[in-house]
Amino acid sequence: MCGIAGIMTIDGSTPDTAVLDALGRALDHRGPDGHGQHVSGNLGMVQTRLAIIDLETGDQPFIDKDLALVANGEVYNYIELRAKMDEVDFATRSDCEPPLHLYRKHGIDYTDHLRGMYAIAIHDVTAERLVLSRDPFGIKPLYYAETPDGFAFASEPSAIIKAGIIEATVNPAALTELLQLQFSCGDETLFSGIKRVLPGETLVVEAGRITSRTRRNALPAAGPVKTEAPAALKQLDDTLNDSVGVHQRSDVPYGMFFSGGIDSSVLLAMMTRLNDRPVKALTAGFSGTSAHDERQHARLVATASGADHIEVDFTEDDFWTLLPKVAAAVDDATADYAVLPTYKLAARARKEGLKVVLSGEGGDELFAGYGRYRHACRPWPFMRPMRRRGIFDGLDILRNSPAGWRDGIASAETAARLPGRSRLQIAQATDCADWLPADLLGKLDRCLMAHGVEGRVPFLDEAMADFAVGLPDHLKIHRRRGKWLLRRWLETALPEAKPFARKRGFTVPVGEWISRDSVRLAEKLAMQPGIAEICRPGAVESLFKSLHSSSDKHLGKAAWTLLFYGLWHNANILGRPSDANVLDSL
């Protein structure tokens, strides 16, 4: 896990080493274990390393004659790839060296052979081109900007800003999506002029301009495959064993984030099977609030599995002191309140000596855990489209009525409607296109990498996706219960998890904390330039005041979204420090 960045000039000049150095400094937190640089012709690339596999010889860039590579991520099938490449004299034991030799053999189709999470940059000196690739699920981030002087890329958009390549201004269309959805869709970021390399995309850049794009899909295109429950359970066990096994490949200590829910309990059960030592499992909770605290149930399940259970209390004081830092770190903005406990869990993981953490992202998407999937599958006229209501709909808070905020979701829905797919599969594919990479995976990446910790997601493996998405609908949703097959497997593997018991959804009591100092908070937030620009006069104060007299969770969500955006704008657009508490930061 690392940070990568680079510049390709249009006029053929050598990239400015001061700009390359600035890109590297901006990514230091992603790679505290080493730095590397490659400059040749009109291209310069930098890498900051978090050493996970091959601690001794794995420094980047990797260079083989006329090819140079820098990468961020893990190629989990590197052992199998090396075994098939007898003709190659490998210079290192790194998992990221095989892609360099695969590119020499297969060209831009080299990613077809990779299993893992990655953002890769390859300089083909002979062909005078830069090749950028991102894994099919979008687990690892990669961004780019085209300027009059050339082309720049980086693991985080803020690095491009801090290096002076692009001025920090807000993209209005992406902001509308953030306010209504809590994330932005497609290739648009909240920074004007900075775009995402899409999940599964490979770009070819020549003379500082993109000349071709190809894309590798994460999900199977076909409809459900007829399968009976006993066979499906056996295949699930085999697939979990394989995926969790390769996701544990590491030369440094690893653990997991554990909520006690279905997905994390499945991972804990399989990790317990595969490890001789107790699994370190970290759980967050919220003392002294009305929010459901998962720690008691998680403690019982962890004890039953023999795990080394570590409980992390996220307090009201943490909310006021950590939120500005979190908003600054999540530069590709997602206003998902789960960023808060994730950030503190990552800090604790690092303190415990863990450099790798496995997490359950993707379980809901692949095995149909969300209630919105059940609504999407209802017969007409009872079916409901996903995300049909935006956060600020009907609240009369914004200066301009949000327009076009659902266009990205609608486009993803259209692209997901492949012949033979069920309505459930279409809903799953829609979430995997934007919600998963832009919200859940972006949150995980930034919060963990802020502390030099690598996050791995065993559910988001291509073999797992082929199996899970291809299941018949009734093995995913049965008797109004999502993730039915996972529950059946867990009922045997770790019955203490009580997989068929009713669970309360995960929530963070941000509305409760905001309401305790809402008057001062609203006054300061309303004057913040980013908020004053988008909200009607007096609307912020009225919204925050209403938190005391209304139990409408919709209002709390709107207040939280404005607070997050105000702090994000302060740090990432205005460039203000984020080391003070919320009120002082505003």
- Residues 254-293 have pLDDT tens digits of 999 999 999 999 999 999 999 999 999 999 999 877 777 8
What is the Cα–Cα distance from 133 to 150, expressed in whole angstroms? 19
The pLDDT value recorded for residue 55 is: 87
Residue 503 has pLDDT above 80, yes or no: no
Phi and psi, residue 203, nearest 5°: -105, 140
Contact (CB, 8 A) for 396 and 536: yes
Look up residue 184 and give its two tokens: 């932005």
Give 55-81 pLDDT, tens digit per residue.
Answer: 888 899 999 999 999 999 999 999 999
Question: What confidence score (pLDDT) does residue 232 get?
Answer: 98
Q: What angle do CA 190, 194, 200 make, to 5 degrees?
A: 100
pLDDT at 505 over 70: no
| Average pLDDT over all residues of the chain | 95
Report the candidate in 128, 142, 108 with the shortest Cα–Cα distance to residue 207: 128
**Mean pLDDT throughout 194-202?**
98
Instruction: Judge contact between 525 and 586, C-beta under 8 A.
Output: yes
Other Cβ atoms closer than 10 A to 18: 10
Question: Picking from 16-20, 302-306, 512-516, which range would have the lowest pLDDT averaged per residue?
Answer: 512-516
Does 120 have pLDDT greater than 90?
A: yes
Confidence band (pLDDT; 50, 70, 90) for 548?
A: confident
Q: Taking the CA of residue 442 as centre, how many other CA atoms within 13 Å lie in the half-sphere pointing to its CB?
A: 31
Q: How far apart are CA 152 and CA 159, in angstroms?
A: 10
User: What confidence tens digit (pLDDT) does each residue in 365-413 have?
Assistant: 999 999 899 888 877 666 677 788 999 999 999 999 999 999 999 999 9
pLDDT at 383: 65
Provide the pLDDT for residue 508.
85
Helix or strand (DSSP H, E) at 433: helix 423-433
- The mean-pLDDT minimum among 4-8, 63-67, 186-190, 549-553 falls in 549-553
**Domains in the chain, ordered, with CATH?**
2-215 (3.60.20.10), 229-276+293-303+350-389+400-497 (3.40.50.620), 510-585 (no CATH)
Instruction: Evaluate whether 75 touches 113 at the Cβ level (below 8 Å).
Output: no
Q: How far apart are CA 559 and CA 552, in angstroms?
A: 11
pLDDT at 504: 65
Give pLDDT, residue 388. 84
Mean pLDDT of all residues in 298-315: 97
pTM of the model as a whole: 0.96
Nearest to 263 by CA among 338, 137, 370, 362: 362
